[in-house]
Chain A
Amino acid sequence: MRLVRAELLKIRTTNAWWLFGLGALVMLALAFLVNAVNAIQLLNNPEDVPAMSPEQAEQVRAQADVVFQAANLYTSGQFFGLLFVMLLGIVVVTNEFYHQTATTTFLATPRRTAVVLAKLVTAALFGAVFWLVTTALTIPSTMIFFAVKDFDNHFGDWEITRALLLNLLAYVLWGIFGVGFGVLIRSQIGATITAVVLYLLGTTAASIIFTLLRVWLDAEWISELQVIVPSIASQLMITGTELPGSPPQWVGAAVLIGYAVVTGTIGTLIVRRRDIG
């Protein structure tokens, strides 16, 4: 427990946390704006669907649902919020090597597993704080927005609550990914850039690859496999209603937990064996 306190103190005494927090808030505002515009479009003109394939039309109709849009707005900013939480997790580890404080840390605590666990807990806590702050902003914003537009905000519905809670889980788990990633790539700049590129390009690339595979093999189940990509799994978790062609929300949660366990375990094992010097 005192190790977690030390880790929290480490974060509080440097600039990274509020820089990342600020970044997350800016992206949250933008995301909320985009989602709101989107919601107006889809909710006001549900039948105004341009020519598209039957599956696409079905997708759009599913999204033109108040619950879906409400969940989407309540969880606005997740995409970049998760990125910043992951970056914070990375920094929690790579700072120790970048600033050569790993020596001091492991001198104070030779039991390295405890140190890694403290870092995992700290990153998870920060993920939870990010979730709390963003959610505390999106809930009233969404209610006001829906009130102005005269839609039922559905707050308190199980679909919405589930989306919010699974969103919390996603934030926590991405903090853990960050720590695991930081252990794998010790270089601060290397880890940060790799993570950002993988997150931003990887999500798109994975979508394209799975779409191509689905068309090529002509098998609908391929697109359901997209959920093995962590960022897509997180997005799935916060949908309010089930979309056609997507697995249920709990699958996304299961996938993310799997990744978190694997990265956390690998990270711990590596740190235990590594020579510090």
Chain B
Amino acid sequence: MSDGQIVVSGLTKHYRNVRAVDNLSFTVEPGRVTGFLGPNGAGKTTTLRMILNLVTPTAGAATIGGQRYADLAEPLRHVGAVLEASSAHKGRTGLNHLRVVAAGAGLPRQRADEVLAMVGLTPAAKRKFKGYSLGMRQRLGIATAMLGDPKVLILDEPANGLDPEGIRWMRDFLKSLAAQGRTVLVSSHLLSEMQLLADDLVIIAAGQLITQGPVDEVMGSMSGNTQVRVRTPQAEALTGVLAAQQATVTPGGDGALLVTGVDAPTVGRAALTAGVELHELTTERPDLERVFLDLTAGKAGIR
């Protein structure tokens, strides 16, 4: 497998009454962290499970490095996946869990110790899984995924239930993996987290693709919504000046004005020319959360 590109084409899954995933196509590039975003029930997990041959698609296909998952001779050496927080036998120790997986995948036994050290779980190696905290379970999941030193990492909601320390660790870890040239696909509904972590975004809702591209581009596509917040004791004078420049001015609620249609330098210059005193002048880019809600509006409901 030369590169770790993931190609999803026309992927569709129908359950009895629901189109969980509907003709979904996107690509995931190596060397980058790709955030797979969507509201709960958008079909993220089903999509990931179809990529991994755990769920049979109704139509369409997904390939990893040009091959379907089922056709990979040594899948764990190519792809590592973290799907549920609690996917180990409760009565088995963390180390034994890794040894079982290594044995099944034909990987050397000492890989279990190595990946356990990699995620910092060595002190808990001989503790049973039921005694693990949620954060430790996530780390064990990542250790399992790293057993075969794969080129491609697929993670389903890895930040779920993690404390801030754990989220930070996860973010740094995934970024370092992408920096090594690996492909990292991370699903999440935590948008703020994706803003800090992802290079690319794939956003879906109701099983359909909403948009995909680099984070900046996705945000940029919404730049029409960029607004300028300005605070001034001479609100009426400024409103009049800006109205002449085709800008729309609305009260911001806390005494500030929200200006759309012109950028911040234009507002500042207009104020200077008109001799209007300014106390605040900020460009407000819409955060990912707003973009996300705008994009998926009306599609997130219960289906």
Binding site for B on A (CB under 8 A): 2-3, 5-6, 9-10, 13-15, 95, 99-101, 103-111, 273, 275-277
Contacts and interface: CB of A to CB of B under 8 A. Distances in A.
28 contacts: A3-B104, A5-B103, A6-B101, A6-B103, A9-B100, A10-B89, A10-B92, A13-B93, A13-B100, A14-B89, A15-B91, A99-B87, A100-B84, A101-B87, A101-B88, A103-B54, A103-B84, A106-B54, A108-B76, A108-B104, A110-B70, A110-B75, A275-B49, A275-B54, A275-B55, A276-B54, A276-B55, A277-B45
B105 A108 contact: yes
Contacts, number: 84
Chain B interface mostly helix, strand, loop or mixed?
mixed
A107 B89 contact: no
A247 B79 CA distance: 56
A104 B87 contact: yes
Contacts of B226: none
B284 to A, nearest CB: 41
A6 to B, nearest CB: 4
Contacts of A95: 89
B144 interface: yes
A104 B72 contact: no
A110 B72 CA distance: 8
A95 B52 CA distance: 21
B86 interface: yes
Contacts of B103: 2, 5-6, 9
B69 A110 contact: yes
B115 to A, nearest CB: 13
Interface residues of B, number: 35
B220 interface: no
B136 interface: no
B182 interface: no
Contacts of B92: 10, 13-14
Contacts of B290: none
A45 B138 CA distance: 69
B104 A2 contact: yes
B120 interface: no
A119 to B, nearest CB: 11
A104 B101 contact: yes
A95 B89 CA distance: 8
Given A15-B91, A110-B69, A110-B75, A100 B86 contact: yes
B92 to A, nearest CB: 5
A6 B100 contact: yes
A110 B101 CA distance: 13
Nearest to A10: B100
Given A110-B69, A273-B56, A99 B105 contact: no
A230 B101 CA distance: 35
B6 interface: no
Contacts of A6: 100-101, 103-104
Contacts of A105: 104
Given A10-B100, A273-B56, A275-B56, A109 B105 contact: yes
B83 interface: yes
B106 interface: yes
B48 to A, nearest CB: 10
A109 B103 CA distance: 11
A174 B31 CA distance: 51
Nearest to A8: B103
A93 to B, nearest CB: 13
Contacts of A109: 75, 104-105
Nearest to B45: A277
Given A99-B87, A109-B75, A276-B54, 9 more contacts: A6-B104, A9-B103, A10-B89, A13-B97, A13-B99, A99-B90, A108-B104, A273-B56, A275-B49
Nearest to B55: A275
Per CB-CB distance, the 6 closest pairs between chain A and chain B, nearest first, are A6-B104, A6-B103, A13-B96, A276-B54, A108-B105, A275-B55
B28 interface: no
A14 B96 CA distance: 9
B49 A277 contact: yes
B53 interface: yes
Nearest to A275: B55
Contact of B88 (A99, A110, A277): A99
